[in-house]
Amino acid sequence: MHLASLGYRTDLIFARFRGRVTDLGEAVVVTNPHSPAHYFGNLLIFRDPPQPGDLPHWEELFARYIGQPPTTPHRLFGWDVPARGNADLEEFLKAGYHLEENVVMAAPTLHAPPHLNTRAEYRSLTDTDEEWAQALENQVASREEGHDEQRYRRFKETQLRGLREMCRAGLGFWYGAFLDGRLVADLGVFSDGEGLLRYQSVGTDPGYRRQGLCGSLTFFAGEHARAHFGAEQLVIVADEHYVAKRVYASVGFEDAERQQLLLHTGG
């Protein structure tokens, strides 16, 4: 199957490992039976953007191939980038869908950030329960405001278990920034086997922010993974309005595409 979008093509790195990816022709179905409530593990990616009258057909496809409440408590639709024509969102927005927008950034190589933190140790995690437990705690601590801690912890436990298995399978690395032996920032970088690398779950302990750790770790991890896999392009996805976008730009990432999705969480 072929998708033009760098964002969606690298999303499929994780979808193929954790679940199933099916090409319907008009859309790509992504499903994860082990985590039916995970948004990006269960969605439809259409070849073309939405047009008037698409809503019932798109919802019918989602129910048929992915699921419906209570098993799958959401519906999520994306479309390939660059889009072939303009998206007509009115029908979906009136039906209670929320428009999600991300910026996909890319770079062939990275450079050190202007405020390189030289105090920390940057390395890939060893395959020990202790270090992955530190990664879990850091991911939970660095969650965005508004996320329920216990629910987020359960999600991260499942997610990190799968990402650890991907590291064991040789598909990527999980990296940490350590200060005095404590992990205070972490992220993953994974390969699609065809020249693309994708970052995953960048997180910095709130007590250690604004010290250059995120940019320094992003730089170190990207260059290490690029050399290991012989990759041609690194890809990272950020919320259009999130401060991390400036951090990624500081090490060489540039805007490559805008990603739009329609999300309904009301069942």
**pLDDT (tens digit per residue) in 153-204:** 998 999 999 999 999 999 999 999 999 999 999 999 999 999 999 999 999 9
**pLDDT for the residue numbered 240:** 65
Same domain, 126 and 201: yes
- Name the domain count of the chain: 2
pTM of the predicted structure, to 2 decimals: 0.92
**Range name among 132-141, 172-181, 258-267 with the lowest pLDDT average:** 258-267
**pLDDT (tens digit per residue) in 54-91:** 999 999 999 999 998 888 999 999 999 987 789 999 99
User: Does residue 233 contact residue 197 with C-beta atoms inside 8 Å?
Assistant: yes
**C-alpha span between 179 and 122 (Å, rounded):** 9
Mean pLDDT of 128-138: 98
223: left (phi over 0), alpha (psi -120 to 50) or beta: alpha
Same domain, 132 and 59: no
Expressed as residue numbers, the domain containing 187 is 121-231
Same domain, 142 and 182: yes
User: Would residue 45 count as lying in a domain?
Assistant: yes
Better-predicted residue by pLDDT, 33 or 196:
196
**C-alpha span between 200 and 125 (Å, rounded):** 14
pLDDT classification of 37: cutoffs 50, 70, 90: confident
User: Would residue 70 count as lying in a domain?
Assistant: yes
Query: Which of 39, 69, 102 is a domain's end point?
Result: 102
User: Would residue 259 count as lying in a domain?
Assistant: no
SS3 category, 207: helix
Of 173, 153, 149, 178, nearest to 163 (Cα)?
173
Rg (CA), the chain: 19
Of 206, 208, 212, 132, nearest to 176 (Cα)?
132
